[in-house]
Amino acid sequence: MTEPTRAVAQGTFDLLHPGHIHYLEEAATYADELHVIVARRANVTHKEPPILSDRQRQETVGALGVVDAAHRGHPEDIFVPIEQIDPDVIVLGHDQHHDAAAISETLADRGIDCEIERASTREPSHDAELLSSRAIIDRILKQRG
Binding-site residues from annotation: 12-13, 17-20, 95
Where helices occur in 63-112 by DSSP H, the ranges are 80-85, 100-109
**Which residues line the annotated binding site for ATP?**
12-13, 17-20, 95
Local structure of residue 33 (DSSP, 8 states): E
Beta bridge partners, 116, equal 90
Degrees, nearest 5: CA angle 42-137-67 = 60
